[in-house]
Amino acid sequence: MNSKTADRIATGVFIAIAIIIISILVGLFSYILVNGLKHISLDFLTTPSSNVRAGGGIRDQLFNSFYILFITMLIALPLGIGGGIYMAEYAKPGKITDIVRSCIEVLASLPSIVIGMFGLLMFVNLTGWGYTILGGALALTVFNLPVIVRVSEDAIRAVPSDLKEASLALGITKWHTIKTVLLPSAFPTILTGAILAAGRVFGEAAALLFTAGLSTPRLDYANWNPFSPQSPLNIFRPAETLAVHIWSVNTQGLIPDVEEVSNGSAAVLVLSVLVFNLLARWIGSMIHKKVTASK
């Protein structure tokens, strides 16, 4: 077999693999959207769910998903970016650094159900909080922190060394160089990674089953006092997210329109995650163009 024939065979195999992957994704998205879009309406998005009556919506679950996402990223981003800065600029090569990096990689590969069991032990039982938004956010922080650390580290390491050396040659301190040179240059990649991590948080269910709970109290959206039990901003209340609601409806649902609610919720969840991914690519490309143009 000559090299040209081998090249054609390899090209054909890779094209076939790509077609198979795209077909699976298109088929999955089409199935979910075709069955779910017809059940999505303004009333479905703005009315509370019901455990026994037909016609319930996903208002509280949708709010809970975005609220837990906000709290999670508020905790995870500073820790993750800080960890990435330390690993890229301050950690000295050696056994300890290798062990830390290995621990980060192992933590990133843990199944979400394991993170959920850890969260149940630490943030539900040990703290005595019970099922809470804060417990769910902390569990998801553990789930996403390794990803953000690795993305931040790789983004900072990818910045051309000439920029860093030129800054240090002018007598600027290391921290000021990181703050004014490295982080702005690495920001598009870090932001893209953060938005992709946010998509993972929004679609997560297993970790939240054991930390945020399967129920939501009656919420008063006119009450924005975060210390009130009926306030949607209370971080110490249980909160069923959209992904958990889909699981709950399909496994424990007693409502007559289980299939309609499940399909509509799944379509909203898939569209939300898709928007996160498209938004990450669009924002990343826009910022990259601006950074490139400024240089």
The torsion of the CA quartet 188, 189, 194, 199, rounded to 10 degrees, works out to: 100
State the pLDDT at residue 292: 65
Whose tokens are 């922190």? That residue is: 145
Using a pLDDT cut of 90, give the percent of the chain over it.
35
State the pLDDT at residue 109: 83
State the pLDDT at residue 131: 94
Using a pLDDT cut of 70, give the percent of the chain over it.
97
Cα–Cα distance between 56 and 38 in angstroms, integer? 15
Confidence of residue 295 (pLDDT cuts 50, 70, 90): low
State the pLDDT at residue 293: 66
Q: Write out the two tokens for 236.
A: 């110490």
Q: Using alpha carbons, select from 202, 191, 183, 200 the residue that is nearest to residue 280.
A: 191
Q: Write out the two tokens for 9.
A: 């065979």
Our CA angle for 84, 89, 91, nearest 5°, is 85
Please state at what angle helix 242-252 crosses helix 258-294, rounded to 10 degrees: 160
Contact 119, 53 (CB under 8 A): no
Q: Could you read off the pLDDT of 230-289 as tens digits, one per residue?
A: 899 999 999 999 999 998 888 877 788 888 889 999 999 988 888 877 877 787 777 767
Confidence of residue 13 (pLDDT cuts 50, 70, 90): very high
CB atoms near residue 153 (< 10 Å): 24
Mean pLDDT across the stretch 49-68? 87
For the chain, the straight-line distance linking the first and the last C-alpha, in angstroms and rounded, comes to 49
CATH number corresponding to 40-294: 1.10.3720.10
DSSP run (H or E) holding 287: helix 258-294
The domain spans of the chain are 40-294
Mean pLDDT across the stretch 46-53? 83
Q: In the predicted model, is pLDDT for residue 38 greater than 70?
A: yes
Q: In the predicted model, is pLDDT for residue 294 greater than 70?
A: no
Cα–Cα distance between 108 and 168 in angstroms, integer? 34
State the pLDDT at residue 224: 86
More confidently predicted of 144 and 284: 144
Contact 39, 267 (CB under 8 A): yes
More confidently predicted of 207 and 4: 207
Q: Could you read off the pLDDT of 67-97 as tens digits, one per residue?
A: 999 999 999 999 999 999 999 888 888 888 8
